[in-house]
Amino acid sequence: MPATDPWTAILERIDDGARLIGLDADIHRMLSVPARVLEVGIPVRMDNGRIEVFTGWRVHHDTSRGPGKGGIRFHQDVTVSEVKALAADMTLKCAVVDIPFGGAKGGVQVDPRRLSDGELERMTRRYTIDVASLLGPDKDVPAPDVNTDARVMAWLMDTISMVRGEAIPGIVTGKPIAVGGSRGHVGATSQGVLICSRAAFTELGMPVSGARAVVQGHGKVGGPLCYLLSSAGMRVVAVTDADGGVYNPAGLDTLALADHVSRRGTVDGFELADPIDPASIWEIDCELAVPAALDGVITAEVAEKLGAKVIVEAANGPTLPEADGVLERRNIVVVPDILANAGGVTASYFEWAQSRQGFAWEEQVVAERLRRIMETAFQSCWQRSRDLKVTLRRASVALALERVGEAIALRGLFP
């Protein structure tokens, strides 16, 4: 397989972390293979009466620490290798923030923009039925991901609840508040990225106020993050998406940009900034770069040209292993995805707990607990980095593997 294969990439990082901590060889072998991979064909009757069949997956990487946890993405280019890698990423992420979940992920190979609302709902419900044997509040708890949202989660929850004849709000997170969702869930990933950015700047002795930031992606994470960074005193000087990019060295008006994106569906054409080639965003001189789109965007070549001093990974797997050595040589600090974007899964944990309790928390309770967990996780990873004398990414993986390995060892092997 090529080095850029997502599953190969995550295995390289697991292998490295295992060597760092001397992980038991048997446990290492167990974590090198997903526990379950379910592939399904999803027949959907389209609006024109024709049946189309889409391919979908649900993967459990490891569930030693608790139920599987991970989003479902709808994307035309998703592959089983990507879903497996993202499930393993979730295993590590949940362990880093020390919440009682294992790693899971789902995906359907489809371009949802080509579906009507009715087709999208029918596909979601059929996919849900096809993977239902893996799902449950104590088995596997999906959440939104790329091209899925609260509405999709409501369909998924309703489908399982109808089939089983009982209300099961704890079977998904990221639901609308009206059907058991949590206050403070929307924007939690962006909040977590901001918390990690501030913590990294503090440890490095860099002022947040006036620092320049660039953000790749203006979706569910990148959009709110631009506003949060600006509110924290940073100058967001460049933002790009799949259709274009904009740049203003004085700092973008993030509220005006958000209004523009809501009207146009892209940052392209924003009148209060200059257009730029999306690929050039990494070369802009700045203190902070945030990849908040898809995986694999920071290659070794990009790392050589990167103009930032700190990278905080809001996306899953945005940096290829080939780039890690380059970034380390150039003294660019990377706050890895399994730490930086864990605010979303932490908020999902809060929602799951509320669904199980049947008691909704107030928004300030959610915000305070999110802040405390993210800050504690950051400090644990930062200290492990100092102790092991390795990068923050390698230390974060090592810490996660210690926690997962301990759970596997304590549970033992059945039968």
Single-letter code of the amino acid located at 117: D
Catalytic residue among 69, 84, 93, 105: 105
User: How many CB atoms neighbour CB 60 within 10 A?
Assistant: 25
Q: Max alpha carbon distance in the chain (Å)?
A: 65
CA-to-CA distance for 87 and 106, rounded, in angstroms?
Answer: 8
β-partners of residue 235 are 212
Q: In the annotation, is 139 catalytic?
A: no
Contact at 8 Å (CB) between 132 and 156? no
Question: What's the token pair of residue 260?
Answer: 């523009």
Contact at 8 Å (CB) between 130 and 72? no
Burial of 268 (0-12, 13-18, 19+ CB in 10 A): middle
Contact at 8 Å (CB) between 337 and 343? no
> What is the residue whose two structure tokens read 């449950």?
136
- Select from 302, 320, 341, 316 the least CA-distant residue to 12: 320
CA-to-CA distance for 285 and 253, rounded, in angstroms?
Answer: 19
β-partners of residue 150 are none
Single-letter code of the amino acid located at 411: R
Contact at 8 Å (CB) between 137 and 101? no
Question: Which amino acids are annotated catalytic?
Answer: 105
